[in-house]
Homo-oligomer: A and B are copies of this chain.
């Protein structure tokens, strides 16, 4: 059972609890109701504050921040102070990544095996799935839901309160002000669907599907999702059932 290695210059508050095998570098600051699992690497100059649960084998690079409040306490009548940031396992948070505490719901949540590049910004109450990639400077405003394997290009910005289906892909500097259907690549400002995320399907081992078919016919597919039993069709139907077009608007 590996010991925790904590640099003597790090600030560790009295309520912080942790498992084994964690590394905490110089000048890092952990304060509040924080529980760390095992084998996390917290480099130098990392700042955690608030109610935070972190699993195992995550990595936090210099100047990343977790748990800062999203609002001015006292100014917002619906503000909740009891929310929690939940970060599961095997995630990477590069420099200047910022994960805010929730203020409207129980949790800000990040799943497993996500990779957030420098300056990625995850605001309050986001629910982020597994395998999500946020590129440099991508901005996700509050109360969004990102399905598994969402991939946001550099500088993409998502307005608050939208849902991004699994394997949605956002082009660089894309401006998102509507929901995004699963497996769609959207680009531009405001964003439009460019095509389907063929490479995302391949990467996930969905290559037994006829990828050229998705490439050529995506407008027809999206307009009238076929009832056939197929992973992508099912994902589209489930998303449309969960967020009916009658109540939501989608990037088209």
**Hey, which bits of chain A sit against chain B, CB under 8 A?**
9, 11, 25-27, 29, 31, 43-45, 47, 49, 59, 61-63, 65, 68, 72, 92, 94-96, 98, 115, 117-119, 121, 123, 135-137, 139, 141, 153-155, 157, 159, 171-173, 175-177, 187-190
- Taking the nearest CB of chain B, how far is it from the CB of A76, in angstroms? 11
* Overall SS of chain A's interface: loop
Q: Give Cα A94–Cα B187 distance, bound, in whole angstroms.
A: 29
B98 adjacent to A118 (CB under 8 Å) = yes
Pair A62/B137 contact, Cβ less than 8 Å: no
Contacts of A62 in B (CB 8 A): 29, 47, 49, 65, 68
Q: How far is the CA of A95 from the CA of B63 in the complex (A)?
A: 9
Contact B139 A155 (CB under 8 A): yes
User: Can you list 30 A-B pairs, Cβ within 8 angstroms, ordered by A?
Assistant: A9-B11, A11-B27, A27-B27, A27-B45, A29-B44, A43-B47, A45-B45, A45-B47, A61-B65, A62-B65, A63-B65, A68-B94, A68-B95, A72-B92, A95-B98, A118-B121, A119-B119, A119-B121, A119-B137, A121-B137, A136-B141, A137-B157, A157-B173, A159-B172, A172-B177, A173-B173, A173-B189, A187-B190, A188-B189, A188-B190
Smallest CB gap from A118: residue in B: B98
Partner of A63, one of B63, B136, B189: B63
Closest Cβ neighbor of A137 among chain B residues: B139
Known contacts A157-B153, A173-B173: does B92 contact A63 (CB below 8 Å)? no
Kindly state the separation between the CA atoms of A149 and B189 in the bound complex, as whole angstroms.
24
CB distance from A98 to the nearest CB of B (A): 5
